[in-house]
Amino acid sequence: MELPRSFGILLHPTSLPGPWVCGVLGKEARAFLDWLREAGAGFWQVLPLGPTGFGDSPYQSFSAFAGNPYLIDPEDLIRRGWLAEEEPPKIPQERVDYGFLYRWKWDLLRRAFQGFLRRGDPEERREFSRFWEKEKEWLWDYALFMALKDRFGGRPWNEWPPEFRHRKASVLVDFEEDENVLFHAWTQWIFFRQWQEIRNCAHKQGIKIIGDIPIFVAYDSADVWAHPELFELDSEGRPTVVAGVPPDYFSPTGQRWGNPLYRWPVHEAEGFRWWIARVRQTLRLFDVLRIDHFRGFAAYWEIPAEEPTAVRGRWVPAPGEKLFQTMLRELGELPILAEDLGVITPDVEELRDKFGFPGMRVLQFAFDGKPDNPHLPENFPEHGRVVVYPGTHDNDTALGWYRTVSEEVRTRVQQYLSAQGIIASKEEDIPWALISLAFRSRAVLAVIPMQDVLGLGSEARLNYPSRAEGNWTWRLLSKPKPAQRLAELARETHRLARTFGDVANKHGQVYTG
């Protein structure tokens, strides 16, 4: 995949401002796209958009195919006449309160659904019916899964009665006309309609959207419940081994994610059918796709399910080359970015380069004093086929990072910036200094977290890896700084966005009716 020299901003939609408890796919999202255009950005990067559950992580979704109903814009439902005028809740807006959001948003959506049933016009009903029929291969499993979670008090599927846990056909047939199943399917129709409107708006502004696909899926998901044969589970549906990473920069005991691992021989025997469907669906939402934990397609860290940490694991080879070859045959050119951070071995690099996937570099990792550090800009590959970040969603903000590193690292940072002609005389200059360093590098694409554009500290950090709760809550409250400074830097470093079409997504749009 060839990318134009450009830059983008990383901001997950839940972090958008607005009165609706979390960011939604409405006027604030369009205003953000206007700001991106004024800044000369070519890309908007988001995190996974699937429906989230306990822990609120976009990387632990109830479905690898569905969208997050939390992002549905209530104003659209009001305009359509399905919902009466609704006052936004009177709660603090500084952080996303997911507990309140869960209670409030699902009640609002159910009221809107009843309004649709009573007042939806015939064409709207036909559009929903067409969506339901066209997307039923994944939508039935998701809607049924969510309806059963409602029925059993939100408990994970492995705690449901055996006949539901094991999908006994004579029991599930009773739900084919169930109104709650229809409700959850309806939320998906609304989500995909609204997302497509935002994506079309981005395209009109000349902005491409970078999406994110986690390599693994959540255990408590429609995917594992509906396809247990594709995952390393025992006869009772319990994981025998789980995913994670060994001890690293973020944790001395590694990260035990807990996701079930794939039963790769079964996937291969089926021609990777589930993976093809998953990637096809995701590429209907985004113009470019960032695959999280790319190294897991070469080899993954397998942890026995009974182990409390990731220390006692082992590397197991994965059939990444066969998988991507099959994707190329079935899907054509793959506009994929490889998140190749962590323990990167020659086989990972070979797999990435064989398919021409750009990798990642993170400036916060560059200052360990080693001259061959791959995150130093002078060590980026000559062809420049990498994406550079000051930090990712898993890092502290640039300012928060600089405030907490050792004096030795701070000295290295200052010396390096000075050698590049970048002045950072005080702490508050560091975010812009790293932005400048990223823009000046040979990396084809520079992606900047919105928190760094705003110069925010650790209070604005989005995620602490290996911390189970309290993540993903930051919201953009203040008006973004004027876009002119970014546009001027982009012009100086030849990163102003070109006409839309440099990266063409040939996989079509999600069906909306």
Sheet holding 255-260, edge to edge: 255-260, 241-245, 299-304, 314-317
Whole-angstrom distance, CA of residue 490 vs CA of residue 493: 5
Tokens of 71: 């992002």
Instruction: Identify the CA nearest to 7 among candidates 465, 452, 373.
Output: 452
What is the C-alpha end-to-end distance of the chain, expressed in Å? 31
Torsion over CA of 272, 64, 146 and 51, rounded to 10 degrees? 180
Set 56, 220, 339, 340: catalytic member: 339
E-assigned strand segments in 180-329: 208-213, 241-245, 255-260, 288-291, 299-304, 314-317
**Of residues 287, 292, 396, 452, which has the active-site annotation?**
292
- Active site (annotated) includes residue 339: yes
**Is position 176 annotated as part of the catalytic site?**
no
Kindly report the CA angle at 179 between 173 and 183, in degrees rounded to 5?
Answer: 115
User: Which residue is catalytic, options 232, 394, 396, 452?
Assistant: 394
Backbone angles phi, psi at 489, to 5 degrees: -65, -40
Give CA torsion, residues 326, 329, 331, 336, to 10 deg: 60
Tokens 């054509």 locate to 332
* Strand extents, DSSP E, 106-233: 208-213
Beta strand 314-317 pairing with 299-304: antiparallel
Q: What is the DSSP string of 45-69?
A: E----SPB-TT--TTSBS-SS---G
Catalytic site includes residue 292: yes
Residues known to be catalytic? 292, 339, 394
